[in-house]
Amino acid sequence: MGKDEQKAFEILKKNREIHQPVIESYNGKLIKELGDGILTSFPTVSDALFAAIKIQQACSASKELSLRIGIHEGEIIFENNDIYGDAVNIASRIQTLAIPGSILFSKKVADEIKNKVEFHTASLGSFEFKNVNESIEVFALANDGFPVPKRSIMEGKLKKKNFLKRNVIFALSFIMIVLVAFSIYKNFFAKDDKAEVIDKSIAVLPFVDMSAGKDQEYFSDGLSEELLNLLSKIPELKVIGRTSSFSFKGKNEDLRSIAQKLGVAHILEGSVRKDGNKIRVTAQLIRATDGSHLWSETYDRDLEGIFKLQDDIAGAVVKQLKLKLLTTMANAASSSTNTEVYNLILQGNYFSEKRDKENLAKALDFYLRALAIDSLNARSWAAVAKCYSLQSNWGWIDRNPGFEKARKAAIKSIELDGTQAEGHRILGAVKMWDYDWAGAEAEYQKALNLEPGNADVLRNIGILYRCLGRFDEGILLYKKAISLDPIQAITYFNFGQLLYQANRLEEAIVALKKVLDLNPQFPRAHIFLGMVYLLQEKPELSLDEMSQEQDEAWRSFGLMLTYQALGRKKEVDKLLSNYIIKFSKNQAYQIAEIYAFQGEKDKAFEWLEESYKVRETRLTFLKGDPLFKNLKNDPRYVTFMKKMKLPLD
């Protein structure tokens, strides 16, 4: 600043241009600038570390910036638009020990990441900092490319009085505070717009079936889901998705613990007793922080009054949370669905959520029975479209006629009622199968405009962007979907695949390990984790993952890739010969991947054409597939991409 003020301002500007988008992409929040330093927070330790890595890599590439980064985890106090506390002070002190390009952090941070293979750490010993009562053990990130300071040259704001003052080499300091406690996070943003989003949040737990025969579970589940969908239409209210909320069904877990896991401030729970045409519903709204009841009510109604009942409960929640009651929240089903059709739809929903071949067929039967009673019901048509789409996508029915049935049903639903998001969402999925990428995006956007908090729609758009190679946009959408449905294994699985294709391998490992934490038997999670390790040139780790896959076809596929990387060519050839005999009908794309990974271009293109003939759904992910990097300079690749209407750049 003293020698060249203009240059100093240019460097500060470049620093902002580098760190601001990175902070946002890892769920961070910029608190304030401190001269040439930055104070920011992240919801998790992993987010902070990944952001620090990306920022240092960007600065290294710029060749103009040298940053010191200090990270600590702890609580803070918010007052008069500023923050205070030992956490701020400690992070600041740790940063002063760093050398340009390094990332240092406290033992609290190191303990959080000790089991994460993507982070390597090195202890630098304990230090006594100024104005900090206890000594702090400091660690350095020891990943490749990151310098680890030697203790003998480290200087900083320590209690030792005769410590030499450091020479300044145009180093910019960067401070991170990691906030993990939900209550601290909520209080911290109390005067920020995000505070409203956090406070105005709710999970609807599955209502308990209290009927005498315990045979009305489909109805109690259905009522819960109807309320969830109704509340999710309110833009200012964060509503957790069905899968995450229903994951606590039948578990005797403390409501405050559930709220913390789901990241919400309120819980709506209740019970249903149904006897013929009579229903009794008890509902209660609970504040998560202390478990207190904000509101409770018992309703005795005839089944014909079910739609008014839903509106009454949702309206009471809106009133208690001091939300604005919007016209979009009105229960559209009340004017278009009779109770018999409603009952059939709920039974269909109960089976469709099980997502296996037999139960999806049962669900379709209930939806078709509903249409036989009322052929003008938009919800039934959308549900039928969803069943046909899923059955086709998973190969349980012939894809061509299946997707055509899904298309017709989705269009019929939209014609009858264009204000329901589900019809647009399914039509978007069908258009993706047609390789009509622009048309799919338009339908998904219509669905998102109708239901901004619909995690399914966000996931669908994320998948679309993965197909188109728009990875950064897809990542942001998946992070939002995860915040709305945080215990949904499939979301983390799709997110992990997206990160894999985006070459964000450390993050992909985190996402895929989360899948296995939620469901150790989740199909193909081990395979894609193994593929990430292959890209990291860690075939031994890959082999361990591939061997754990339960499905024979996918396990064989994974083992062939790993054996190829290990140079075990004879084993690959033997497996591939058997694989083609047994699985070529439904796994042509995987065969093409194997040949491409081997460098056998002609055979890879031959099997890609086979995949195209039967429209395998995995073919849509061709653009960013790392296993096809050997083909990208081949003119046939350009021709094939054009045939699929995929962008080339």
Q: Is residue 497 part of a domain?
A: no
Cα–Cα distance list, 39 to 83, 173, 261, 362 (Å): 10, 9, 27, 55
Tell me the C-alpha distance between 482 and 495, whole Å. 9
Collapsing DSSP to helix, strand or coil, 249 comes out as coil
Convert the pLDDT of each residue in 203-260 to its tens digit: 999 999 888 777 888 888 888 888 888 888 787 788 898 888 888 888 878 888 898 8
User: Tokens in use for 442?
Assistant: 């338009």
Cα–Cα distance list, 195 to 42, 84, 287, 369, 395 (Å): 15, 19, 16, 46, 45
In this structure, are 183 and 205 located in the same domain?
A: no
59-65: average pLDDT: 70
Assess whether pLDDT exceeds 50 at residue 196.
no
Most confident of 71-75, 342-346, 401-405, 482-486: 401-405
618-642: average pLDDT: 94
Assess whether pLDDT exceeds 60 at residue 450.
yes
Cα–Cα distance list, 380 to 364, 404, 553, 643 (Å): 10, 17, 36, 35
Largest CA distance in the chain: 88
Assess whether pLDDT exceeds 70 at residue 157.
no
504-517: average pLDDT: 95
Q: Is residue 221 part of a domain?
A: yes
In this structure, are 150 and 255 located in the same domain?
A: no
55-67: average pLDDT: 77
Residue ranges of alpha helices (H) inside 152-216 are 182-188, 193-199
First to last CA, the chain: 41
Residues 245, 373 contacting (CB under 8 angstroms): no
Please choose, from the candidates 484, 499, 415, 412, the residue with its C-alpha nearest in 3D space to the C-alpha of residue 448. Answer: 484
With a pLDDT cut of 70, the percent of the chain lying above it is: 85
Predicted pLDDT of residue 156: 67
Q: Is residue 325 part of a domain?
A: yes
Assess whether pLDDT exceeds 50 at residue 517.
yes
Higher confidence at residue 324 or residue 511? 511
In this structure, are 166 and 64 located in the same domain?
A: yes
Judged by average pLDDT, the poorest of 174-178, 227-231, 452-456, 493-497 is: 174-178
Tell me the C-alpha distance between 279 and 58, whole Å. 61
* CA-atom Rg of the chain in angstroms: 27
Tell me the C-alpha distance between 502 and 494, whole Å. 12
Predicted pLDDT of residue 126: 86
Please choose, from the candidates 613, 617, 622, 625, the residue with its C-alpha nearest in 3D space to the C-alpha of residue 641. Answer: 622
Predicted pLDDT of residue 83: 62
Most confident of 15-24, 284-293, 303-312: 284-293
Residues 462, 498 contacting (CB under 8 angstroms): yes
In this structure, are 164 and 289 located in the same domain?
A: no
- Report which residue type is found at 19: H
Most confident of 93-107, 136-150, 346-360, 435-449: 435-449
Number of domains in the chain: 2
Predicted pLDDT of residue 292: 83
In this structure, are 230 and 252 located in the same domain?
A: yes
Collapsing DSSP to helix, strand or coil, 339 comes out as helix
- The residue out of 315, 335, 355 marking a domain boundary is 335
Residues 258, 267 contacting (CB under 8 angstroms): yes
- Model confidence at 326, in pLDDT bands (50, 70, 90)? very low
Please choose, from the candidates 462, 342, 456, the residue with its C-alpha nearest in 3D space to the C-alpha of residue 390. Answer: 456
In this structure, are 265 and 323 located in the same domain?
A: yes
In this structure, are 219 and 161 located in the same domain?
A: no
- Domain of residue 219, CATH code: 3.40.50.10070
In this structure, are 131 and 232 located in the same domain?
A: no
Residues 588, 614 contacting (CB under 8 angstroms): yes
- Please provide the average confidence, as pLDDT, over all residues in the chain: 84
- Report which residue type is found at 346: L
Collapsing DSSP to helix, strand or coil, 239 comes out as strand
Predicted pLDDT of residue 544: 95
Most confident of 31-45, 233-247, 327-341, 567-581: 567-581
- Model confidence at 435, in pLDDT bands (50, 70, 90)? very high
Assess whether pLDDT exceeds 90 at residue 383.
yes
In this structure, are 181 and 220 located in the same domain?
A: no
Q: Is residue 407 part of a domain?
A: no
- Model confidence at 194, in pLDDT bands (50, 70, 90)? very low
Q: Is residue 256 part of a domain?
A: yes
Assess whether pLDDT exceeds 60 at residue 163.
no
Tell me the C-alpha distance between 55 and 61, whole Å. 10
Tell me the C-alpha distance between 223 and 512, whole Å. 33
Cα–Cα distance list, 368 to 194, 345, 380 (Å): 43, 9, 8
Assess whether pLDDT exceeds 50 at residue 180.
no
DSSP state of 118: T
Q: Is residue 615 part of a domain?
A: no
- The residue out of 319, 335, 351 marking a domain boundary is 335
Neighbours of 336 (CB within 10 A): 16
In this structure, are 205 and 179 located in the same domain?
A: no
In this structure, are 182 and 219 located in the same domain?
A: no
Judged by average pLDDT, the poorest of 190-199, 229-238, 383-392 is: 190-199
Instruction: Provide φ and ψ at 299, rounded to 5°.
Output: -120, 130
- Model confidence at 173, in pLDDT bands (50, 70, 90)? very low
Q: Is residue 14 part of a domain?
A: yes
Burial class of residue 523 in the structure, from the number of CB atoms within 10 Å of its CB (0-12 exposed, 13-18 middle, 19+ buried): middle
CA 326 to chain centre: 28
Convert the pLDDT of each residue in 91-109 to its tens digit: 888 988 888 889 999 998 9
Assess whether pLDDT exceeds 60 at residue 436.
yes
Q: Is residue 457 part of a domain?
A: no
Tell me the C-alpha distance between 182 and 238, whole Å. 15
Tell me the C-alpha distance between 576 and 591, whole Å. 8
- Model confidence at 319, in pLDDT bands (50, 70, 90)? confident
Predicted pLDDT of residue 62: 67
- The residue out of 290, 308, 335 marking a domain boundary is 335
- Domain of residue 145, CATH code: 3.30.70.1230
- Report which residue type is found at 231: L
Tell me the C-alpha distance between 129 and 121, whole Å. 21
Neighbours of 315 (CB within 10 A): 13
Higher confidence at residue 293 or residue 499? 499
In this structure, are 225 and 123 located in the same domain?
A: no
- Model confidence at 64, in pLDDT bands (50, 70, 90)? low
Tell me the C-alpha distance between 116 and 134, whole Å. 27
- Model confidence at 124, in pLDDT bands (50, 70, 90)? confident
- Model confidence at 549, in pLDDT bands (50, 70, 90)? very high
DSSP state of 394: T
Instruction: Provide φ and ψ at 242, rounded to 5°.
Output: -60, -45
24: containing domain = 5-187
Tell me the C-alpha distance between 328 and 527, whole Å. 43
Convert the pLDDT of each residue in 471-481 to its tens digit: 999 999 999 99
- Model confidence at 335, in pLDDT bands (50, 70, 90)? very low
Using the CB atoms, write b or e for 257-266: b if 16+ within 10 Å.
ebbebbbbbb
Please choose, from the candidates 374, 190, 170, the residue with its C-alpha nearest in 3D space to the C-alpha of residue 265. Answer: 190
Predicted pLDDT of residue 198: 56
Residue in the block written with tokens 């799919």:
440
Predicted pLDDT of residue 627: 96
Higher confidence at residue 558 or residue 293? 558
